[in-house]
């Protein structure tokens, strides 16, 4: 009975590691594909804010 609980705990940990890995992979791919676009939009927004201050 004890081995059953240890195996379930190990299986749960494996699932957790796989989910974390998949999230990290998706985040990496999103940054790789959309990083330049997002960066450009942040720069443009920053420029608008700077020009609104009138400095």
Spatial separation of the C-alpha atoms in residues 17 and 20, rounded to whole Å:
5
For the cut 90, the answer to whether the pLDDT of residue 54 exceeds it is no
Specify the pTM: 0.56
Do the domain assignments include residue 14?
no
Percent with pLDDT over 90 in the chain: 49
Do the domain assignments include residue 46?
yes
Average pLDDT, the chain: 84
Mean pLDDT score, 16-45 = 93
In the structure encoding, which two tokens stand for residue 44, read together?
């443009």
Structural domains counted in the chain: 1
Do the domain assignments include residue 12?
no
CA separation (Å) from 4 to 9, 10, 15, 30? Answer: 9, 10, 17, 39
- Write out the residue range of the structural domain in which residue 41 sits: 22-55
Do the domain assignments include residue 4?
no
Do the domain assignments include residue 1?
no
């Amino acid at each position: 009975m004890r081995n059953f609980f240890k195996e379930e705990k190990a299986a749960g940990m494996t699932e957790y590691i796989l989910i974390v890995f998949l999230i990290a992979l998706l985040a990496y791919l999103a940054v790789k594909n959309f990083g330049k676009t997002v960066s450009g939009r942040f720069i443009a927004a920053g420029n608008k804010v700077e020009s609104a201050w009138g400095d």
